[in-house]
Chains A and B, each alone.
Chain A
Amino acid sequence: MTAREPLAARESATGAIYDLGYRAYDGPRLGRSAAVATLFWHSLRAAFGWGRSGRSKIVPWGLTAFALAPAAIATAISALVPFGGASPFSYDNYIFQISIILALFVAAQAPELVSGDQRNRVLSLYFSHALERADYGLAKLGAMIVAVFILTFAPMLVLFVGSILVATDVADALGDQLENLPQVIVAPLIYAVPLAALGLAIAAWTPRRAYATGAIIAVFIVSAAVAGILGEATRGRLADWSQLVNPMVAADGTRDLLVGEPNFESPASRGNLDLWVFGVETLLLSAAATAAIVWRYRRVAA
């Protein structure tokens, strides 16, 4: 009998609302930190299309596959052809080689995380919940950093695990490779922080997703092109300093400074600038972009 009642209520023309009795909630209210954590996880899942339609998984998973493919193929070849020569990839040059994929990922997914909330005005609901305006931007930034980290860490992990497994003496290789573990973890982070911050700072500026994606691609491509042209067209100090225009080079210089060896495919390692210059640039870029995100969300209308 009880089970039939909701149905009856639904069918009647006027009493469309069936009342099971509103119950008050006396349980815990976890407050601001829980709200920020919820937003972080929600955004991280969204960065990979998790819990969304199949269509929104195509870009992040496709780019992840592209980022992984060279590492996986190189590992497979060295497993099948034991003495087939040195792999073209190392922990030092891999991320810089796939930097175009990182740029595309940031351009596609940073707007995915923030544009819709502005366009659909979901922001006014977020801001009327248990967090501060700046928390929104920082939770989104955290999610974006972790997403780019996952994208870059995954192939490094494949190189790492692969080089252990294909070795003739696995235990010995494990010992050797453990020395590289800090580099395998820290190098992706050195790329993830400035790229995510820069991308999100641009995406936060417009509710239009397509504009944001275009602007981020433009910044990465134009900066790389300008740095490339200046590097070719000028001589001496100017050629060296012009490389700072490209944030990918800055990140690679920072990687060279902090972990690992020079990567001679990157102008940072080839040039004559002290590496700390790239470290300072990466730091300033990350800080300025974070400040821009916080500034934007403190002021945006909601």
Chain B
Amino acid sequence: MSLIEARALTKRYGEHVTALDALDLEVEPGIIGLVGANGAGKSTLLKILLGLLSPTDGSASVMGLDVTRQGPEIRQFVGYLPEHDCLPPDASATEFVTHMGRMSGLPAAAARERTAEVLRHVGLYEERYRPIGGYSTGMKQRVKLAQALVHDPKLLLLDEPTNGLDPAGRDEMLDLVKRTGTEFGIATVVASHLLGEIERVCTFLLAIDAGKLLRAAPIVSFTERTGTLGVEVEDRADELAAALMARGLEATADGRAVLVTSPDERRYDVVRDAVDELGLALVRLEHKRHRLEDLFSGEAIG
């Protein structure tokens, strides 16, 4: 039994908008990155898994439970962080998270106890007794994460968890997500359009585009070395490229860098000599890796 399974899952809004287009998926536990451009169908997929939306066609299951027929059972074990605001301004974090714990079926005493623990985990202290309306965006995101964690879910669905955060807030939220997934062993799906964030926290990647699955694979397979050597110089990259070609290497200038694609063992020596001969300032030599961005720029990945 997979954590998440989808078979020909389709969601259409009206006649013309197809958010999910016969999507087939099988996902095992881990920290799963769900990437795609805005409008690729990420939020729609999460909402269908939660039973917030019903699919137009096809089927999906979470932990072996059918999303259209067993919604309440699934949702007892799922935590959800929506991308939009979803907090009442007049309640305090403690009141609200306790209430949401009880909405997941926790007894009152357990809900209170776990609220205290989980608010500490996300880093909310004295301010948890004040109304949420006065919180900063960063604090609100933490409350949203806390309410998703309060009932100790087996699956966490996070929709753009770093939305609206400043760089420091982003780092903290990503660390929190990573620790929650790795140390506590809660299977997590992080939807984001920011590939850098996905790369930092996730072990597995689902890429969707226009409602179709582009690729599903462990994240390392996206970032392997390509065999291309990047040579960055201060200027005159095109002269260097020409010099390398004259020495029998395949080289192309790319901005301030020259990309050497020949797998020749002697290429480091050749590059060194050519740079020296032209009197260039060498900034960096690096093995080029695949980048997640390549997924969406249409380049084939090995």
User: Which chain A residues have a beta carbon within 8 Å of chain B's beta carbons?
Assistant: 6, 10, 16-20, 22-25, 27-32, 34-35, 38-39, 42, 51-53, 56, 116-117, 120-122, 124-132, 302
Known: A17-B123, A38-B99, A302-B52. A31 touches B105 (CB 8 A): yes
Could you jot down 7 A-B contacts, CB within 8 Å?
A22-B121, A34-B107, A39-B103, A121-B82, A122-B88, A128-B52, A302-B52
The reply to whether B50 and A27 contact each other, CB–CB distance below 8 Å, is: no
Contact B121 A17, beta carbon cutoff 8 Å: yes
A121 near B86 with CB under 8 A, answer yes
* Contact indicator A16/B123 (Cβ below 8 Å): yes
Q: From known contacts A16-B123, A27-B106, A34-B102, infer whether A130 and B76 are also in contact, taking CB-CB under 8 Å.
A: yes
Indicate whether A124 sits within 8 Å of B82 (C-beta atoms), given known contacts A17-B176, A32-B72: yes
* A129 adjacent to B100 (CB under 8 Å): yes
A sample of 15 more A-B contacts (CB under 8 A), given A25-B114, A29-B76, A29-B105, is A17-B175, A17-B176, A27-B106, A29-B151, A30-B107, A31-B72, A31-B73, A38-B103, A122-B86, A128-B52, A128-B75, A128-B78, A129-B103, A129-B104, A130-B104
Which residues of chain B from 60 to 92 have any CB-CB distance to chain A below 8 Å in the complex? 71-73, 75-78, 80, 82, 84-90
| CA of A56 to CA of B109, assembled, Å | 27
* Chain A min CB distance to B4 (Å): 15
Q: Give B129 Cβ to nearest chain A Cβ, in Å.
A: 13
Partner of B172, one of A16, A22, A27, A126: A16
CA distance A35 to B147 in the complex (A): 15
- Once bound together, how far apart are the Cα atoms of A122 and B104, in whole Å? 14
With A35-B105, A120-B85 as known contacts, state yes or no: A132 contacts B71, CB within 8 Å.
yes
Q: Is A18 a contact of B120 with CB atoms below 8 Å?
A: yes
CB closest chain-A residue, reference B80:
A128
User: Is the Cβ of B106 less than 8 Å from the Cβ of A116?
Assistant: no
B71 touches A27 (CB 8 A): no
A53 to chain B, nearest CB (A): 7
**A125 x B86 contact (CB < 8 A):** yes
For A10, the closest partner residue in chain B by CB is: B125
Interface of A is mostly: loop
B7 to chain A, nearest CB (A): 22
The one of A19, A27, A35, A131 in contact with B110, judged by C-beta atoms closer than 8 angstroms, is A27
- Contact residues of B between 196 and 245, Cβ < 8 Å to A: none
Max chain B C-beta neighbours (<10 A), residue from A17, A23, A30, A53:
A17
Contact of A51 among B76, B80, B95 (CB under 8 A): B95
The reply to whether A125 and B183 contact each other, CB–CB distance below 8 Å, is no
Are A23's CB and B72's CB within 8 A? Answer: no
- Quick one: closest A residue to B172, CB to CB? A16
Are B52's CB and A127's CB within 8 A?
A: yes
Residues of A within 8 A of B180 (CB): 22
Smallest CB separation, B122 vs chain A (Å)? 7
- CB distance B85 to A30 under 8 Å? no
Which residues of the partner chain B approach A131 to less than 8 Å between Cβ atoms?
72, 103
Q: What A residues does B105 contact at CB under 8 A?
A: 28-32, 34-35, 130
Q: How far is the CA of A130 from the CA of B72 in the complex (A)?
A: 4
Which 9 residue pairs of A and B lie closest in terms of their CB atoms, listed nearest first?
A25-B152, A129-B103, A29-B105, A128-B80, A30-B105, A38-B102, A32-B72, A17-B123, A22-B184
List, in ascending order, chain A residues with CB within 8 A of B78's CB. Answer: 128
Which listed residue, B72, B103, B152, touches A132 by the CB 8 Å rule? Answer: B72
CB distance from A300 to the nearest CB of B (A): 11
Query: Which A residue sits closest to B118, measured CB to CB?
Result: A22
Q: Which residues of A contact B123 (CB under 8 A)?
A: 16-18
CA distance A207 to B69 in the complex (A): 29
Complex Cα–Cα for A121 and B89 (A): 11
Asked if A125 and B82 make an inter-chain contact with CB atoms under 8 angstroms apart, the answer reads yes
A34 to B99, CA, bound (A): 12
| A125 to B71 CA separation, bound complex (whole angstroms) | 14
For A29, the chain B residues whose CB sits under 8 A away are 76-77, 104-106, 151
